[in-house]
Amino acid sequence: MDWNDLRYFLAVIDGGSLSAAAKRLNVSQPTMGRRMAALETRLGTRLFERRGRGYVLTAEGENLADSVRRMEDEALAAERRLGGRDSSLAGTVRLSATEGIGALWLPPRLNRFTADYPDIRLELILDNTAVNLSRREADVAIRMQNEPGRLNWQDALIGRSLGRLRIGLYASPDYLAAHGTPRAVADLKRHAAVGLAGFLVGASYNQWLLDAGARQALSTNSLLAQLNAVRAGFGIAAMASALIGDDMGLVPLMPDLALPAPDVWLLYHADMKHAARIRAVVDFLADEIAADPNFVSDPRKRSTTAKSA
């Protein structure tokens, strides 16, 4: 069997449809369909049941998937072990971050990094959900999570806990002019909130604002949309202070409040701990986060090993 066909096969499983798989591998949907049809013909069996727009594995497909997953895991492990021995400050590093941090906080700092390390090419992956470091979806991840092990998969990750994410309440001057400025937590009952939805809805600081009595006027699964909604005057939001630049014109509210917040982690796979380019990125990010008084409320550096729960 052609390994490329098997990669296409796994992409259909992970994406659930030809269109999602084609997007993942950057090919056309007809090409994906032809590759799957050719694979089934070559094997003489049906691997998928077509249900509406989705693809569901048959019993034969599930058997093949188990074998192909093991092949993929071995290939990825070999790649990590070889890459982890690389002592050169060159090559590509895939960096995963949440949408807000990745779009607003990281770019100017990464510009300084590339000036110091011109042979390291950075690939920035923005996603509010966790990426799988074992499958090389990223090499280094900035995650906001009190228990990062719950987001991991099968292998050990090396992590640095850098401190508690600094969270504050913010509103626009126009909103406050129209609705007044809350001076105490009890005042939030008379105000609108811009909250989070989807994967982000469980954020402790998001729930704190609602529990305080604020009425949710708008919710979104995008941190950038939340920020822009606050700037547009929708209401008050609890947001990472590192995202709030002076040019945004937002007003901090009750700055002495200690809002619930997750820890900030830098994570990378244990197989990559000796790769010079990975160490350079991790050390740089740790120093930048510690130097920004708006990022974490209690800067610290410590290493740990996070295993899947």
Question: pLDDT for 68-126, tens place per residue?
Answer: 888 777 776 666 566 545 567 888 999 999 999 999 999 999 999 999 999 999 999 99
Look up the CATH superfamily of 91-165+262-306.
Periplasmic binding protein-like II (3.40.190.10)
* Predicted local confidence at residue 13, as pLDDT: 84
pLDDT range class, residue 285, cuts 50, 70, 90: very high
Parallel/antiparallel/unpaired status of strands 263-269 and 140-144? antiparallel
Q: What is the pLDDT at residue 50?
A: 78
First CA to last CA distance, the chain: 35
Residue whose C-alpha is closest to residue 195's, from 160, 163, 227:
227
Residue with the bigger pLDDT between 233 and 198: it is: 233
Q: What is the average per-residue pLDDT within 222-230?
A: 95
Average pLDDT over residues 206-221: 94
When the pLDDT of each residue in the chain is averaged and rounded to a whole number, the result is 85
Number of helices (H), then strands (E), in the chain: 10, 13
Is the pLDDT at 163 greater than 80? The verdict is yes
Q: Please state the rounded mean pLDDT for residues 160-171.
A: 93
Tell me where in the chain the CATH 3.40.190.10 domain(s) lie: 91-165+262-306, 167-253
Q: What pTM did the predictor assign?
A: 0.69
Beta pairing class for 251-253 and 157-164 = unpaired
Q: How far apart are CA 286 and CA 158, in angstroms?
A: 14
The predicted pLDDT at position 113 comes to 95
Query: Which pLDDT does position 27 carry in this prediction?
Result: 86
Distance, in Å, from the CA atom of 135 to the CA atom of 161, rounded to the nearest integer, reads 22
pLDDT value of position 269: 81
pLDDT of residue 38: 85
Architecture of domain 3-83: Orthogonal Bundle (1.10)
Q: Please give the CATH architecture assigned to the domain spanning 167-253.
A: 3-Layer(aba) Sandwich (3.40)
Domain with CATH 1.10.10.10 in the chain: 3-83
pLDDT digits (tens, 9 = 90+) for 23-75: 888 888 888 888 888 888 888 888 888 776 678 888 888 888 888 888 777 77
